[in-house]
Amino acid sequence: MSGQTSSDKTYYVTTPIYYVNDAPHIGHAYTTLACDVLARFKRLDGYDVYFLTGTDEHGQKVEKSAEAAGVDPQAFTDQVSQNFRELADFMNFSHDGFIRTTEPRHAVSSQAIWTALKENGHIYLGTYNGWYAVRDEAFYAEDELTDGPDGKKIAPSGAECEWVEEPSYFFDLSKWQEPLLKFYEENPDFIAPKSRRNEVISFVKGGMHDLSVSRTSFKWGVDVPGDEKHIMYVWLDALTNYITAVNYPDQESSQYTKFWPADLHMVGKDILRFHAVYWPAFLIGAGLAPPKRIYAHGWWTNEGQKISKSVGNVIDPREIVETYGLDQVRYFLMREVPFGNDGDFSRKSVVSRINSELANDLGNLAQRTLSMVGRYCEGVLPEPGAYTDADTAMLKQATAVMDAYRTHLDNQVFHEALETIWQVVRAANAYVDQQAPWALHKEDPARRDTVLYVLAETIRHLALYIQPYMPDSAAVMLDQLDVPADARDFTHVGEGSALTPGTTLPKPAPVFPRFVEEESAN
């Protein structure tokens, strides 16, 4: 990636901050999971990581939800924000920070970026006349809308729009076409995947209107400095969370100098425009560095249907975790869909991946290897003899994964990284079948020992690799091989940290049980 400097060993990754008007669902879990995998990977790879998530608590949508619930907006957000923290806990997310936009430090930071934009001549006072969709918290031009039933105007997202006419401050977005196109050109990795980059470029080439960045008709937001009749547009406030969390406006602070610009803002495709167009314009306009990369992933459907509260098919992450197991769900979400594409959540596919890839391929490999160590070697890891070509090839394939793994995750190709790891799993299963240690047991115990040792070393590597995706299961596998806690990061890939022959291993237990459907299910 471009633009990396001497602080190469730091990594700042963020999720969107989620609106508190809704219960957390699988889509939110998905985005944060992807960031969690990256954060865990980078920590294991020696980086100083800051992984941020949080909640977006201002704006008309939240104000209306609070009103509907009959509570004051702050009490409402306190309560609903907690649901997102709980989601993060039970999904085993390893975030370093959880930001809420109603925190006092965030008002300071949002007002500071506003002031910088104003001082740099990018904000002016006018009147906004136009269409606004509360659900999207977004303004739309007339020609983007269609006519819905009852003569309502409908945004491309399907949200209803209302006509807004009020005094407003504007950001001079219309002047940003050339600077942004130049920025995209000079930073070809800024927007990923490529197809999304092309979409953004053609949007910007189409020309942009100035952006209304304040509202006067409701109160739930950050006050505009110097003009308290106005509150800041919720997206300007929301995007600023990424710098609030690293201590902006204190640009001298170690947190800021260490982590800004962020390495990656992970978002869903629905909010790419805000991140890839408005956000770099705001930052550059305020004299700040834009983030290094925005990745817009695809959209989940449920058994082929769009997920929506009104359809009543929202997938509750807690329910699926309780049904299938946490690491199983984490694996499925990262493996099922080529990252970046839309994907379908199908229970049949979940079960199929659990049973074939986790239980059969990886679980069985570990279980049968460790049981043979138990049965044939009294649970003591045997001493290997001289390696054959097949042994060397097996070990080489196991250690060689690391380079490809790094590249895949630097490009956010999560499913390919897993596929690379599973090539080793399949090769190891083929190796067991070919070497047949059970047949060697009587005839050639020395050779049997070598084969079991090579397998144990291969499993050690597999367990190291799967840690970012399935941390708990990986820990159990590493415990079963008696790998010390301080020998589990990626510097321990390779033969320098090979298992010590003669170690007594704990009694193995299956890590990935098969999922058995209830009788009533078909």
The reply on whether position 490 binds ligand ME8 by CB under 6 A is: no
Between CA 446 and CA 467 the distance in angstroms is 32
The reply on whether position 317 binds ligand ME8 by CB under 6 A is: no
Q: Please return the burial class of 378, using the count of CB atoms within 10 Å of its CB with bins 0-12, 13-18 and 19+.
A: exposed
What is the closest distance, in whole angstroms, from the C-beta atom of residue 367 to ligand ME8 in the complex?
Answer: 34
The reply on whether position 268 binds ligand ME8 by CB under 6 A is: yes
Among left, alpha and beta (phi > 0; psi -120 to 50; other), residue 226 is left
What is the closest distance, in whole angstroms, from the C-beta atom of residue 66 to ligand ME8 in the complex?
Answer: 15
Instruction: Name which of residues 24 to 43 contact ligand ME8 (CB under 6 A).
Output: 27-28, 30-31
Q: Are 18 and 84 in contact (CB under 8 A)?
A: yes
**Site for ligand ME8 (CB under 6 A): how many residues?**
19
The reply on whether position 80 binds ligand ME8 by CB under 6 A is: no
Instruction: Name which of residues 53 to 72 contact ligand ME8 (CB under 6 A).
Output: 56
The reply on whether position 50 binds ligand ME8 by CB under 6 A is: no
The reply on whether position 307 binds ligand ME8 by CB under 6 A is: yes
The reply on whether position 17 binds ligand ME8 by CB under 6 A is: yes
Minimum CB distance to ligand ME8 smaller for 277 or for 481? 277
Q: At 388, which amino acid appears?
A: T
The reply on whether position 270 binds ligand ME8 by CB under 6 A is: yes
Q: Please return the burial class of 307, using the count of CB atoms within 10 Å of its CB with bins 0-12, 13-18 and 19+.
A: middle
Q: Are 32 and 91 in contact (CB under 8 A)?
A: yes
Is the Cα torsion angle 377, 381, 385, 387 positive or negative in sign?
positive
Element (H, E) at 403: helix 389-410
Q: Which stretch binds ligand ME8 (CB under 6 A): 88-96, 265-273, 410-418, 475-483?
A: 265-273
Residue for token digits 């918290």? Answer: 137
Q: Please return the burial class of 304, using the count of CB atoms within 10 Å of its CB with bins 0-12, 13-18 and 19+.
A: exposed
The reply on whether position 238 binds ligand ME8 by CB under 6 A is: yes
The reply on whether position 383 binds ligand ME8 by CB under 6 A is: no
Minimum CB distance to ligand ME8 smaller for 7 or for 305? 305
Minimum CB distance to ligand ME8 smaller for 281 or for 477? 281
The reply on whether position 280 binds ligand ME8 by CB under 6 A is: no
Q: At 55, which amino acid appears?
A: T
Tokens describing residue 453: 């040792």
Classify 232 as helix, strand or coil.
Answer: strand
Point out which residues bind ligand ME8 (CB under 6 A).
16-19, 27-28, 30-31, 56, 238-239, 241, 267-268, 270-271, 299-300, 307
